[in-house]
Structure 1
Amino acid sequence: MVSIDKYHGMRWVSSSSEVLEFDGVISPELYLKFAKRDFREDDGLRSLANAVSNAKRSLHLQSELLSDALGIKLIMPRGQISFPKRIGFLRDCGVVGGAILNKLNSIRNTVEHDYIVPDAVVVQDFIDVVELFVAASERLVRSFPSMADVQYECCLDDAPVVGTVIFPPGEGKIYLYSHQTNKVIREELRTMDVDEWQKKHSIKISPQNHEYYGWVKWLIGAHI
């Protein structure tokens, strides 16, 4: 498989992005607003319980939206994917820093039990950490790096030429495309969509390959 480490001084010269869409009418940001409003109401256990529930909804929806777009279903295609697996996948993809994710995991364990309401200090901390997570990842939701035309200073001898990196949200594949000069291959463009044609003639990397995560981290870091 092709590692991004084989290319030195890689940068993109043009790019396109997509907005990640979620099912439903309530966004992670809106759930977070609900949580803050619940907490401010200061109506004892009812307010705290509602605040925790809405903060969890915000956290789970944001992590689901991002991990699905980044391709988690390609490696976990069956059944419901647990929150810890989603967070682990997001860490591997470099979506947010380890410090935020570690704090998130730690405090989430405190508020996880469905029938125990934490005290106000813990609830406030939980809302704050969820807000950090949503804010740190929101740029990726609003501008997902689905394609980049790239240049680089040099590459290792065994590295293929790469001109475009294609990353359709939800597919779980990185496509490394280089300009095709073969007349027979280019003739296919008469009957094929150009995007599908480029993907057909690209090197494909999926989350089963550890190289995938290096490309994803570069795309996210270079774009954001």
Structure 2
Amino acid sequence: MFHKILKPEYLKYYEGVTTCTTHKLEDTPHCATFIEFARNDLSTSQNLHAIYNAVSNAKRALHRRVDILCSLAGYETYIAKRNNFPSKLDFLEKCGFFTPQIIRRLNYIRNKLEHDYEAPNYTEAENYVDIIELFLVATSVFIKNYPTIYEFFIVESESVDNTELYKTLPRWISIEVELEKGNLDMRFPGQDEHLIKSIKDTDYFDWLKPIMHGYFWY
């Protein structure tokens, strides 16, 4: 019954609790190692050679972390037609990890250096390294605490703007999250039915995005 009623936008009427497991740590060299290299480059000198090296090392950290996140989130199962860095950012945005405009702005500096042969100045390089380091910190929680089950509990009726709809919704939803496989298995209290979504389903990301927003922001 519930699988016919429930829609992704109705999750706004719920609050969630996540069960996590620790994922295996990234292989060496770690992303943080490349950031350390970039810091050392900038502390050694402010000349063009140091700036180039710092931006390149920060770029390696960024690309490595994006690849790790994509692997954990099932990118290989999804495989967009364009298997490049921008398409990976688009995939992570669909999943709800982040809004990648800021990453694309940082990528602009990298492109200036690699494609347009324009050198960023020292301050731009510092900002580039700073923001990528913040990105690493923000996303490390996902690697250390990998979500496996997300339980949604419906909020009090006083805060609901559609009382008729509220009456039809399940009081509780348990979602088994298998991101690497691209599967979401939703179960409801007192019901044998499941609502299963695959990464190949057109509305998979509509379901996943509020789950990931809840994971990162609740």
TM-score category, normalised to shorter length: 0.7 to 0.9
TM-score, normalised with respect to structure 2: 0.75
Is residue 55 from structure 1 mapped to residue 58 from structure 2 by the alignment? Answer: yes
Unpaired stretches in structure 1, ≥5 consecutive residues: 183-200
Pairing 1:89-168 to 2, within 5 Å after superposition: 89-113=91-115, 118-153=120-155, 163-168=173-178
Q: Which residue of 1 aligns with 2:7?
A: 3
Q: Could you tell me how far apart the structure 2 residues matched to 1:51 and 1:17 are?
A: 35
Letter in 2 for 1:218: P
Question: How far has the Cα of 1:38 moved from its partner?
Answer: 1.6
1:68 matched residue in structure 2: 71
TM value normalised by structure 1: 0.73
Match of 1:185?
A: none
Secondary structure of the corresponding residue to residue 167 of structure 1 = strand
Aligned-pair Cα RMSD in Å: 3.3
Counterpart Cα distance in 1 of 2:119 and 2:23: 33
Question: What is the CA distance between 1:7 and its match in structure 2?
Answer: 4.2
Partner of 1:195: none
Q: Does 1:209 align with 2:201?
A: yes
Task: Provide, for residues 45-100 of structure 1, a one-character-per-residue CA deviation record: whole Å limited to 9, x for no partner.
Answer: 4422321221111101111111221122122179x931111111112222123442
Distance 1:159 1:107 in 2: 48
Per-residue CA deviation, residues 15-62 of structure 1 (Å, 9 max, x unaligned), is 311334355222222221221112111173442232122111110111
1:181 shift after superposition: 6.5
How far apart are the structure 1 equivalents of 2:46 and 2:103? Answer: 30
Paired residues, what number?
A: 204
Residue in structure 2 matched with residue 191 of structure 1 by the alignment: none
Moved beyond 6 Å, runs of 4+: 156-162
1:52 to 1:106, Cα distance in 2 relative to 1, 3 A: closer
Determine if contact 1:7/1:156 at 8 Å carries over to the other structure.
Answer: no
